[in-house]
A = this chain, B = another copy of it.
Amino acid sequence: MPGEFQLIQQFFQREQAEQPAEGVLLGIGDDCALLQMPIGKQLAVSVDTLVAGVHFPLDADAELIAERALRTNLSDLAAMGADPLWFTLALTLPEANEEWLRNFSRGLFACAREYKIALIGGDTTSGPLTITIQVMGTIAPGTAMRRDGANIGDFILVTYNLGDGAAALAVIQDRIYCDESSAGYLHERFYRPVPRLQESALIRGLATAALDISDGLVADLQHICDASDVGAIIDVENLPLSSAVQSLNNPTQALEWALSGGDDYELCFTVAPEKMADVAMLIAQGKLNATVIGEIVPGNKVICEYEGEPFTLANTGYQHF
């Protein structure tokens, strides 16, 4: 891309220089970044791509796209129990639009400062708008929350509310109408999902398995079942729904969004019975916002029940723009 170096300098390198970060021996501007790992820690790495027209509307605000891109990646660190440290940005742009880049970098660095993660390198190329972020975090040996640790009898919990991501998408795409206050809440939930890093730090000594919900509760919980060689029952009546989703006045739709909508970026985690009292106390003390939604059982599938009766899910599938 012509002017790539000037653009990088102007919007990314300068900001980095003003925010010296832990372990960064050499940041943006050479062939590689040079990094020093904190002693005694392991490195957690995750990469995610957002494509315009697939993961966000083509006309979405650049600042919000940046926020969403970094936040959804940070959610993967939270899901693993890792603390954010560094990230890289590979940005493909149809044109080198200065205003777009200014807004994008404003959103990116606001989020990076909030979660104490440093931009250490990147690449800017010409092409259809695509954002690939790779996050790196640290984790103490033996404390990672993997997908393969769930056992029969474990409780299944989720943080905060489910279904907001899918509801937000429906509002953004004008498929449903809702009041201004709910629309504002859902818009925020879609573009500025909160990576559950605080919750992750609370539960990482207590959970047997964890992941973040990006594809929908049923699909993602199935990954825990596959990796742990267990089954799961979801008590659908216990799914936590925001007042915004409840106000949309279609209870069946709300449950389907919560079960299969995706884009929620809440943590789903399992807790052994002997640790459940500790987790329940954190919830009771208001330190942890989480709800028991089911149980790990023998088998290999995720089963949904409503008050003990089978609950059949209409497959709403994955919603592209």
* Residue pair A47, B127 in contact (C-beta under 8 Å): no
Given A128-B128, A130-B128, verify A51-B90 contact (CB < 8 Å). no
Complex CA distance for A193 and B146, rounded to whole angstroms: 38
Interface residue from B5, B43, B90, B126 paired with A320 (Cβ < 8 Å) = B126
* Residue pair A33, B53 in contact (C-beta under 8 Å): no
Q: Does A121 contact B (CB under 8 A)?
A: yes
* Residue pair B33, A318 in contact (C-beta under 8 Å): no
Given A90-B90, A90-B132, A126-B54, verify A42-B49 contact (CB < 8 Å). no
* Residue pair A32, B137 in contact (C-beta under 8 Å): yes
* Residue pair A43, B34 in contact (C-beta under 8 Å): yes
Stretch at the interface among A23-31, A165-173, A271-279: A23-31
Q: Does A227 contact B (CB under 8 A)?
A: yes
Main secondary structure of the interface of A (DSSP, over half): strand
* Residue pair B26, A34 in contact (C-beta under 8 Å): no
Contacting residues of chain A (122-175) with chain B, CB-CB under 8 angstroms: 122-123, 125-128, 130, 132, 134, 136-137, 139, 144, 146-148
* Residue pair A92, B130 in contact (C-beta under 8 Å): yes
Contact with B along A38-58 (1 / 0, CB 8 A): 000011111111111111000
* Residue pair B227, A29 in contact (C-beta under 8 Å): yes
Chain B positions within 8 Å of A32 at CB level = 44-46, 76-77, 79-80, 82, 137, 144
Contacting residues of chain A (64-95) with chain B, CB-CB under 8 angstroms: 76-77, 79-80, 82, 86, 88-90, 92
Interface centre among A44, A210, A212 (most CB of B within 10 A): A44
Given A32-B80, A35-B45, A80-B32, verify A54-B127 contact (CB < 8 Å). yes
Complex CA distance for A202 and B286, rounded to whole angstroms: 59
* Residue pair A126, B43 in contact (C-beta under 8 Å): no
Q: How far is the CB of A138 from chain B (nearest CB, A)?
A: 10
Given A90-B47, A146-B26, verify A79-B31 contact (CB < 8 Å). yes
* Residue pair B43, A35 in contact (C-beta under 8 Å): yes
Q: Does A211 contact B (CB under 8 A)?
A: yes
* Residue pair A31, B211 in contact (C-beta under 8 Å): yes
Q: Does A313 contact B (CB under 8 A)?
A: no
Chain B positions within 8 Å of A35 at CB level = 42-45
Residue contacts A-B, CB under 8 angstroms, 17 given: A30-B146, A31-B46, A31-B147, A31-B212, A32-B44, A32-B77, A32-B137, A33-B45, A45-B86, A47-B89, A49-B132, A51-B125, A53-B127, A127-B128, A128-B130, A130-B130, A134-B134
Of all A-B residue pairs in the complex, the 4 with the closest CB atoms, nearest first, are: A51-B127, A31-B79, A32-B44, A128-B128
Other A-B contacts than A31-B210, A34-B80, A45-B120, 9 sampled, CB-CB below 8 A, are: A29-B227, A31-B46, A31-B212, A32-B137, A33-B46, A36-B42, A37-B43, A123-B132, A127-B130
